[in-house]
Structure 1
């Protein structure tokens, strides 16, 4: 079984593919690629194709390399499928950037569809009186404030990465078409061009995509020189 989202050169270049097998009423699925726009449609197609006798669905997410807010829709669809069919579903083995997104969303990184006991509503009845304790330690409060500051900075970086991704992917597509290279090679070319020209990666990508349009301005000389060097190094 295999479902995939198809994309063009102007879109993303690591499309979501879901492979898997069913055995003894258990569906074992392994998504590969990115959880971005359209990923829920790929999952819906996969789940719809499962045999009627499936009694458990397990997703191994180890090969998912990127995730934005569309990944949360992916999980909502999987959870809805399980509730509708009254069968257990699980999504485990998260790694890298997708795992960090789950952490920032406050979800269980072991299995975001699992509801921890602490999240279950407390039994009805009067709330117990809080026991007296020592006053809050200023060092602990300071540490928590620092952690919150770091977390906010990471959220800003992730948001910027999500906004920047379309133009970077377009630039990767241009390089792939121009030089016959792979998506990974195009990524390395962009990154090295950014380093050699001391220019932000998104700025390099924007200059490259603007320069390919009709009447578009060519990239700055420093970027063009760095790009030629990067192509020579990565494709030799």
Structure 2
């Protein structure tokens, strides 16, 4: 017998109501991604299809470790078949990029689906995975190299620091509206884009509502619209039921 779900009414600022479900969330089957790792010249190619979320971290980590072991040069990661990507998966990619650099190798992005590109653009990490065919001829030296390294370290640090905040905001949306992890991420990204607000700034404002801070009216409106969009059945779903 399923556990009863208790509901408590609250609000994210004036006029933005939501329901907090305190019972157990519905079980969601794990959908691990399909990952293919194979040698390619003196490097390795990693092709990923499916969803990259918290459940997929171990699978992605093992695949990238295998690719690093196979490669003598670069590791090209093809994410063009990824339907969903969150900050936990990005953190795995960033960690392996740093590991590759420590071994004198490169981890580059060979292709990316829109979901991946949005995440990397929002976190300022897209350039870190770009291939540079002229790296050997134009490699910076001295002060330029040091400045580039400082910029990169700053980008990596910001991406890793914002992950817990974004995950917490996503958890608030999941609990408040009974959303899946994927739908909560979609709501955050959609509201971020429609209000021209950086993702981690929106996440911070959302977390602050727990302490009584009200969201700006425009943000409330966009969050409500995004939640409505992901929770409204499509005509096909309605006809099937």
Compare CA radii of gyration and give the structure with the larger one.
1
Bigger strand share: 2
Q: RCO higher in 1 or 2 (8 Å CA, sep ≥ 6)?
A: 2
* TM-score bin, normalised by smaller chain: 0.3 to 0.5
TM-score by length of 1: 0.45
Bigger helix share: 2
